[in-house]
């Protein structure tokens, strides 16, 4: 049956060591084609722009990324129509983004950040200025990447997980129901 | 303490009358007259059927709700012995659904409401114990086998008190069997 | 709004549950169904008993209510045309009489209905097949 | 049913055989769970884990199509271990010795490879049934929709006779009738072999009684069963026996009968098809005349529920449109054909009927009103006769010498077994929120929202894994006779190799697949067993679109204006 909800990746701070392998993997897969980024350091000619953000906090660290909200504040805030829902996922079109920051302010997770935009191995300049053009960078769930989200695959500690919310809810429902078998005689 | 509805798998026959009862009471009686494509069919409880069990699962209205803690926009709150969602505030981020260990929250579309790009607007949906509805939870009322019941503070507190009395009595009898009936 | 209460038997499974309906007589509409204390259902109803009556409002979800007698005047696959009851009744009577005349009564089959029609209609149907047509070719879908 | 529905919860032991009350009669299932709470023992015989199986003491998850082998083996154990009620057998039955000759070879060990149930489990079940009193048997379509249906019903009756489980409350055997008025249609003689009140058409005295009452000579030949109709239209050589006209009243054979392709061909070839119904349906596509009737809620009368209870149904709202009650349409056609039927209301018809049927004679409208229904037999018009909650009181049966007859038969396998091309078995089951061919419930908003086209095929998760199928995926399911599209539902409640589909769907129409293989006595089709194959559909997007198109096409065919132009 067709999926109704967007999937998303979540991190686990109890496993994360802050190695940033996820950020590198994210940058690499999103720039392989458009910016010729290969497997070695020398091939990187553009700024490293990830779509998830390793975050250190008082008790540890974990990557934070987009939840692909179903009533997405970023999408609703974008007046340029640069953010839309494609196959249940919330996707930014960097070509349309004018860098107005409305989405950044709307997102309660800090999952969107304006970062330099590069094409064909070079950063792109703004029209009428020498300054670098930016775009709202956020997780697109590796929509065009075979094998699914690179961050999940790259993490050496299995600290990232792809969530299918509908399937997960059903699994938890079953556990909750079967727990009733234990409690039914001891209300 | 918060109240909650509990299903008894020994009585449940998996018929899902509760799910429809839930929808009808939340949408209102006009649902039987409106355009068949214009209403929401979003039951707030889910029937689970495995080889061992049939029973509906719904929100337990936890005392330290994980959903509430996970919500980034403070759309979940507690009031009048229940945990409630303000769907106007909800951004559909699924954090509450991920946090809930029972799978009691799902994210549903609301008929007639759209997002900026025209896609469906979906928000969190869960049992509200039929807030503001006379007669209490509809699922309890419509169940043909009386498999559902509302558990209140009194039920739970009273039951615990009784269990403690029983445990104490048993412990005493172990030492003083001669006093037994 | 003139509301009245009418108790009736559920039209679905064979359990024979009693339902109390609240009917808005002015609007000619059902307002609500609640369980009645019947012998078999004891004040309970399943989902069909509770929520299985709004087909009467003809919501046209799957099929459409029939509202007028219709005849395919040009034979099979020709369009159905609405006709008056007089025409429909005399057309059926004429065709059945012709077939009975030509091939005998056992060339006509009739069904009873195990569903909404009720016992009186079933009695008349079998009487019609047996007395009017002259055959015992009458059956219903008890086995289906 | 020999007992009343309320008595179910007071049985000591319930043998629930091929009957899934939770889906077919939730309000009877309620009595079962209440009985369980009161300590009733439950033996459930079903190839699936049903709700009753889940709470049963013993679940005999038998191989589909092995019913009679199991029933005979249980009888064998009861006899072999001396658990019989010998006094009851002696005083109230006949034919016991002949019966023993048949069941002699059905040791549990003999039945084990046929039924796939361990011999010891069969023994335990037989002991539990025979030693817990009172014991009741409920059975459903899991018995009736096999080609060996009547033999199994008699086999179950044998168990009750051997153990003396007849003649009191909460015992005996009960077929739980599926549709609201199946019992009523039978009571009223909508049967090829009997007049109203189960009075046989071949008995001269009875025929004379009806001839006198109706004032015309009547046929002494048993009529054509409904399941023979396609054959009698398509293949009957004798012009006088071929069916030339088909008056279909409140049924939809083009949806509910087995082997739909054959039914459609028959309706197409039949010279004159009259359909009398409330909704447009598939049969209507082949009808020459359509007569619109009032629906439940718009008319009144009497239904008979599964436990022989006559109950009134009443008018709730006024019909809209040019409609007539069913009885009135029939009466007008009859009058136009030269046999006048002049009734003012349903009560007049009812009174004529009860005066011709001794078992119903006392069930007047007055009593139905006053007592909120009456269970037949009700023979006396006096207000004291309030009907009969359970049958065969004191072990007296409705035979000439008041004795019941044992009747033993051998098991034979279903006609169509799994094979290389069609390696799985298919059985049709029921969807709890839908009824019959769905012209009513399919037009109820809530019931349609709960479950809608194209329905589900229930399969074991291992089979799903093997075929690489996920929950909700659209699949193609095929048999020798046809195919349809439905959604995959993996469930551990089903054994590997078996599939189950609910028969209410028009797109997921499982009767495209079923076999018109009939029980020789009851003429019931073998809906519960045929061979099939499930195929994955690679292009799910296409399949979803296709199903939607099929749904739209059906709605247009059924006369709904979908904005694409209505059909004729």
Residues C90 and C108 in one domain: no
Residues 1-30 of A with CB under 8 A from D: 1-2
pLDDT at B125 (0 to 100): 96
C-alpha to C-alpha distance for B12 and D33, rounded to whole angstroms: 8
pLDDT at D564 (0 to 100): 53
B-D contacts (CB, under 8 Å): 69
CATH number at residue C52: 2.20.25.90
Shortest CB distance from A69 goes to which of B52, B91, B104?
B91
pLDDT at D524 (0 to 100): 64
Interface pTM (ipTM) of the complex? 0.88
The answer to whether D177 contacts C61, with C-beta atoms less than 8 Å apart, is no
- Using the CB atoms, write b or e for D424-450: b if 16+ within 10 Å: bbbbbbbbbbbbbbbbbbbbbbbbbbb
Check whether C112 has a pLDDT greater than 80: yes
The answer to whether A169 contacts B105, with C-beta atoms less than 8 Å apart, is yes
DSSP SS3 for A57: strand
pLDDT at D516 (0 to 100): 64
D24, D446, D461, D494: best mutation site toward chain B, by most B Cβ within 10 Å? D446
How many other C-beta atoms can be found within 10 angstroms of the C-beta atom of residue A175? 13
Superfamily of domain D5-176: Dimethylsulfoxide Reductase, domain 2 (3.40.228.10)
Band of the pLDDT at D122, cuts 50, 70, 90? Answer: very high
Check whether D390 has a pLDDT greater than 90: no
- Domain D424-557 fold is Barwin-like endoglucanases (2.40.40)
Residues C109 and C93 in one domain: no
Collect all residues of chain B within an 8 Å Cβ-Cβ radius of residue A4: 109, 122
Domain ranges of chain B: 59-126
Band of the pLDDT at A186, cuts 50, 70, 90? Answer: low
Q: Which of D60, D76, D157, D156 is nearest to D115 (CA)?
A: D60
C-alpha to C-alpha distance for D373 and D331, rounded to whole angstroms: 26
C-D contacts (CB, under 8 Å): 492
C-alpha to C-alpha distance for B69 and C78, rounded to whole angstroms: 67
Lowest mean pLDDT among A38-47, B39-48, B154-163, D259-268: A38-47
Percent of chain B with pLDDT over 90: 67
Q: State pTM to two decimals.
A: 0.89
pLDDT at D519 (0 to 100): 63
pLDDT at D527 (0 to 100): 67
pLDDT digits (tens, 9 = 90+) for D220-249: 999 999 888 998 999 888 888 899 999 999
The answer to whether D443 contacts C60, with C-beta atoms less than 8 Å apart, is yes
- Domain D182-380 fold is Rossmann fold (3.40.50)
The answer to whether D27 contacts B144, with C-beta atoms less than 8 Å apart, is yes
Shortest CB distance from B72 goes to which of A5, A108, A178?
A108
Query: Which residues does D224 contact at the CB level (< 8 Å), separation at least 6?
Result: C106, C109, C137, C139, D192, D232, D243
CATH number corresponding to B59-126: 3.30.70.20
B7, B67, B98: best mutation site toward chain A, by most A Cβ within 10 Å? B98
Q: Sort residue B61 into left (φ over 0), alpha (ψ -120 to 50) or beta.
A: left
**Residues facing residue B109 across a β-bridge:** B122
* pLDDT mean over C91-114: 93
Collect all residues of chain D within an 8 Å Cβ-Cβ radius of residue A2: 540, 544
B98 at the A interface (CB within 8 A)?
yes
Tokens of C93: 């009577």
The answer to whether B36 contacts D448, with C-beta atoms less than 8 Å apart, is yes
Q: Do chains D and B touch (3 or more CB pairs under 8 A)?
A: yes
Task: Return contacts of D93-99, CB within 8 angstroms, 24+ apart.
Answer: D93/D161, D93/D403, D93/D404, D93/D405, D93/D406, D94/D401, D94/D403, D94/D404, D94/D405, D94/D406, D95/D405, D95/D406, D95/D407, D96/D406, D98/D406, D98/D408, D99/D75, D99/D158, D99/D406, D99/D407, D99/D408
Residues 43-82 of A with CB under 8 A from B: 67-73, 75-78, 81
Number of domains present in the structure of chain C: 3
Residues C93 and C49 in one domain: no
pLDDT at A40 (0 to 100): 66
Residues C26 and C41 in one domain: yes
Query: Looking at chain A, which subunits does it touch, using at least 3 CB pairs closer than 8 Å as the criterion?
Result: B, D
Q: Which domains does chain A possess?
A: 8-183 (3.30.70.20)
pLDDT digits (tens, 9 = 90+) for C18-46: 999 999 999 999 999 999 999 999 999 99
Q: How far is C32 from chain D (nearest CA, A)?
A: 11
Report yes or no: B136 and B130 within 8 Å, Cβ to Cβ: yes
pLDDT at D213 (0 to 100): 94
Band of the pLDDT at D6, cuts 50, 70, 90? Answer: very high
Lowest mean pLDDT among D18-32, D392-406, D449-463: D392-406
pLDDT at D8 (0 to 100): 92
Q: How far is A155 from chain D (nearest CA, A)?
A: 28
Q: Across all residues in chain D, what is the average pLDDT?
A: 89
Domain ranges of chain D: 5-176, 182-380, 424-557
Domain assignment of residue C27, given as a range: 3-57
The answer to whether A181 contacts B121, with C-beta atoms less than 8 Å apart, is no
pLDDT at C144 (0 to 100): 42
Q: Which of D495, D484, D481 is nearest to D534 (CA)?
A: D484
Shortest CB distance from B117 goes to which of A75, A172, A177?
A75
Cα radius of gyration rounded to whole Å, chain D: 24
pLDDT at B60 (0 to 100): 94
The answer to whether C52 contacts D303, with C-beta atoms less than 8 Å apart, is no
Q: How far is C29 from chain D (nearest CA, A)?
A: 6
């Amino acid at each position: 049956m067709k999926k109704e909800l967007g999937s998303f990746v979540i991190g686990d701070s109890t496993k994360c060591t802050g190695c940033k392998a996820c950020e590198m993997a994210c940058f690499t897969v999103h720039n392989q084609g458009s910016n010729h980024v290969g497997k070695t350091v020398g091939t990187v000619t553009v700024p490293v722009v990830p779509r998830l953000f390793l975050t250190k906090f008082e008790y540890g660290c974990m990557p934070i990324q987009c939840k692909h909200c179903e009533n997405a504040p970023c999408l609703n805030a974008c007046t340029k129509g640069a953010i839309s829902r494609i196959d249940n996922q919330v996707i930014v079109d960097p070509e349309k983004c004018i860098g107005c920051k409305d989405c950044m302010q709307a997102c309660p997770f800090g999952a969107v950040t304006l970062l330099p935009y590069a094409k064909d191995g070079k950063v792109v300049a703004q029209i009428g200025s020498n300054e670098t053009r930016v775009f709202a960078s956020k997780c697109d769930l590796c929509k065009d990447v075979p094998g699914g989200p690179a961050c999940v695959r790259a993490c050496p500690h299995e600290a990232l997980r792809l969530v299918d919310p509908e399937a997960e809810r059903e699994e938890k429902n079953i556990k909750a129901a079967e727990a009733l078998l234990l409690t039914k005689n001891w209300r | 303490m918060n109240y909650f509805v509990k299903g008894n798998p020994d009585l449940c026959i998996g018929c899902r009358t509760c799910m429809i009862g839930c929808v009808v009471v939340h949408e209102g009686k006009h649902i039987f007259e409106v355009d068949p494509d214009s209403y929401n069919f979003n039951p707030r409880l889910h029937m689970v059927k495995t080889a061992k069990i049939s029973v509906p699962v719904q929100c337990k209205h936890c005392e330290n709700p994980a959903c509430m803690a996970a919500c980034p926009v403070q759309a979940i709150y507690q009031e009048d012995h229940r945990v409630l969602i303000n769907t106007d505030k909800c951004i559909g981020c699924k954090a509450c659904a991920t946090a809930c260990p029972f799978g009691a929250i799902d994210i549903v579309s609301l008929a007639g409401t759209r997002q900026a790009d025209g896609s469906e607007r979906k928000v969190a949906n869960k049992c509200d114990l039929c807030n503001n509805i006379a007669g209490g939870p509809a699922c309890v009322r419509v169940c043909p086998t009386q498999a559902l019941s509302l558990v209140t503070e009194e039920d739970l507190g009273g039951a615990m008190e009784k269990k403690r009395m029983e445990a104490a009595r048993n412990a005493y009898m172990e030492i003083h069997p001669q006093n037994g009936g | 709004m003139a509301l009245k209460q009418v108790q009736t038997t559920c039209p679905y499974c064979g359990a024979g549950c009693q339902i109390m309906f609240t009917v808005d007589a002015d609007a000619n509409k059902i307002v609500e169904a609640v369980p009645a204390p019947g012998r078999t259902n004891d004040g309970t109803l399943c989902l069909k008993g509770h929520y299985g009556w709004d087909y009467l409002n003809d919501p046209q979800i799957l099929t459409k209510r029939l509202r007028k007698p219709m005849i395919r005047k040009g034979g099979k696959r020709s369009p159905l045309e609405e006709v008056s009851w007089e025409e429909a009744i005399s057309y059926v009577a004429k065709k059945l009489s012709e077939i009975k005349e030509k091939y005998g009564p056992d060339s006509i089959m009739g069904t009873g209905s195990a569903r909404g029609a009720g016992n009186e209609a079933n009695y008349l149907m079998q009487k019609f097949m047996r007395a009017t047509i002259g055959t015992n070719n009458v059956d219903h879908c008890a086995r289906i | 049913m020999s007992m009343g529905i309320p008595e179910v919860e007071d049985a000591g032991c319930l043998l629930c055989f091929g009957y899934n009350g939770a889906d077919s009669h939730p309000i009877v299932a309620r009595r079962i769970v209440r009985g369980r709470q009161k300590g009733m023992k439950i033996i459930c015989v079903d190839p699936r884990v049903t709700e009753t199986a889940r709470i049963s003491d013993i679940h005999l998850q038998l191989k589909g199509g092995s019913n009679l082998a199991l029933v005979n083996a249980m009888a064998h154990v009861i006899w072999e271990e001396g658990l019989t009620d010998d006094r009851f057998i002696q005083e109230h039955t006949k034919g016991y010795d002949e019966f023993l000759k048949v069941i002699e070879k059905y040791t549990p060990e003999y039945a084990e490879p046929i039924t796939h149930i361990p011999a010891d489990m069969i023994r335990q079940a037989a002991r539990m049934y025979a030693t817990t009193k009172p014991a009741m048997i409920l059975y459903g379509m899991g018995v009736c929709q096999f080609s060996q249906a009547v033999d199994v019903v008699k086999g179950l009756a044998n168990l009750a006779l051997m153990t003396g489980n007849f003649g009191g409350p909460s015992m005996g055997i009960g077929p739980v009738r599926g549709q609201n008025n199946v019992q009523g249609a039978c009571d009223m003689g909508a049967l090829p072999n009997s007049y109203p009140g189960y009075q046989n058409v071949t008995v001269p005295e009875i025929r004379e009684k009806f001839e006198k009452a109706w004032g015309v000579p009547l046929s002494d030949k048993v009529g054509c069963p409904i399941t023979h109709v396609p054959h009698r239209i398509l293949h009957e050589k004798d012009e006088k026996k071929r069916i030339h006209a088909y008056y279909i009243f409140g049924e939809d054979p083009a949806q509910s009968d087995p082997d739909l392709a054959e039914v459609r061909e028959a309706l197409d070839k039949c010279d004159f098809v009259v359909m009398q119904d409330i909704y447009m349906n598939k049969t209507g596509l082949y009808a020459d005349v359509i007569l619109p009737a009032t629906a439940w809620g718009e008319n009144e009368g009497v239904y008979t529920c599964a436990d022989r209870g006559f109950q009134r149904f009443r008018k709730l709202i006024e019909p809209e449109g040019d409609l007539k009650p069913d009885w009135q349409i029939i009466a007008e056609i009859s009058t136009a054909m030269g046999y006048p039927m002049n009734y003012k209301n349903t009560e007049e018809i009812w009174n004529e009927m009860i005066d011709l049927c001794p078992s119903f004679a006392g069930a007047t409208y007055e009593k139905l009103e006053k007592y909120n229904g009456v269970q037949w037999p009700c023979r006396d018009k006096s207000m004291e006769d309030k009907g009969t909650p359970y049958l065969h009181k004191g072990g007296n049966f409705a035979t000439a010498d008041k004795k019941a007859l044992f009747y033993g038969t051998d098991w034979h396998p279903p006609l169509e077994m799994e094979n290389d091309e069609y390696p799985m078995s298919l059985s049709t089951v029921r969807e709890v929120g839908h009824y019959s061919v769905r012209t009513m419930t399919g037009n109820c908003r809530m019931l349609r929202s709960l479950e809608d086209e194209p329905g589900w095929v229930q399969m074991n998760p291992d089979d799903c894994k093997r075929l690489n199928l996920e929950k909700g995926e659209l699949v193609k399911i095929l048999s020798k006779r046809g195919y349809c599209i439905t959604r995959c539902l993996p469930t551990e409640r089903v054994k590997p190799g078996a599939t189950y589909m609910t028969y209410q769907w028009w797109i997921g129409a499982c009767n495209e697949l079923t076999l018109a293989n009939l029980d020789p006595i009851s003429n019931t089709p073998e809906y519960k067993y045929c061979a099939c194959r499930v195929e994955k559909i690679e292009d799910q997007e296409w399949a979803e679109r296709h199903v939607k198109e099929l749904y739209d096409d059906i709605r247009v065919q059924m006369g709904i204006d979908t904005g694409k132009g209505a059909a004729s």
